[in-house]
């Protein structure tokens, strides 16, 4: 067991909160990824995937959390902030994390199809003017199982509906699209 107050214990605490955001995404038929940004022990940005809901490719959990944190601090520089995310960031999100000067990235599960922190490429190892401290594997089993179960359910629904396109059309008709500014978690 991890000592209370240890880095491992704190990481698990924040990752648990990110997993709750991922569950919220899944409940809205979004890929279950949750992210939060912590500054001086306080959450200042949070997000979960909303790409399908808003049909906006940039609405990944990390991007929403970064936008909120920047607004909260009144600066694009998040150099004293730590980002916790349930899935290894993609290239877009990895670039934003570096550009925002995030101090530390902690992610749960590796993403063998799109991961940009070591799985298919490692954006963080390239020579940038800012280095992000990257930690992985915190609550990876829980995150992986949530994602696996989500896609298992989605495949079953797609087969029942006849195709993914039919299911997407049904989803669009079932819920009105709201502006992205209303997407805070």
Q: Measure the CA–CA gap between 36 and 68, rounded to whole angstroms.
A: 10
42 strand-pairing partners: 39
Q: Is 62 known to be catalytic?
A: yes
CA angle centred on 135, ends 133 and 138, rounded to 5°: 155
Q: Token pair 């039919």 is at which residue? A: 166
**Rounded Cα gap, residues 92 and 104, in angstroms:** 17
DSSP 76: S
Q: How far is CA 17 from CA 5, 154, 164, in A?
A: 16, 24, 30
Catalytic residue among 3, 28, 30, 62: 62
Could you give the residue numbers annotated as active site? Answer: 62
């Amino acid at each position: 067991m991890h000592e209370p107050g240890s880095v491992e214990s704190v990481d698990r605490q924040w990752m648990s909160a990110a997993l709750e955001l991922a569950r919220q995404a899944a409940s809205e038929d979004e890929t279950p990824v949750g992210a939060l940004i912590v500054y001086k022990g306080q959450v200042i940005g949070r997000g979960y995937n909303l790409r399908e809901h808003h049909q906006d490719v940039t609405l990944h959990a990390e991007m929403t959390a970064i936008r909120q944190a920047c607004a909260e601090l009144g600066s694009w520089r998040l150099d004293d902030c730590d980002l916790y995310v349930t899935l290894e960031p993609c290239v877009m999100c990895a670039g934003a994390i570096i550009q925002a000067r995030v101090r530390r990235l902690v992610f749960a599960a590796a993403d063998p199809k799109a991961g940009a922190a070591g799985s298919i490429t490692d954006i963080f190892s390239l020579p940038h003017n800012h280095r992000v401290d990257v930690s992985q594997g915190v609550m990876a089993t829980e995150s992986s199982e949530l994602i696996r179960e989500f896609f298992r359910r989605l495949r079953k629904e797609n087969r029942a509906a006849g195709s993914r396109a039919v299911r997407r059309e049904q989803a669009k008709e079932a819920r009105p699209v709201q502006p992205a500014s209303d997407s805070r978690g």
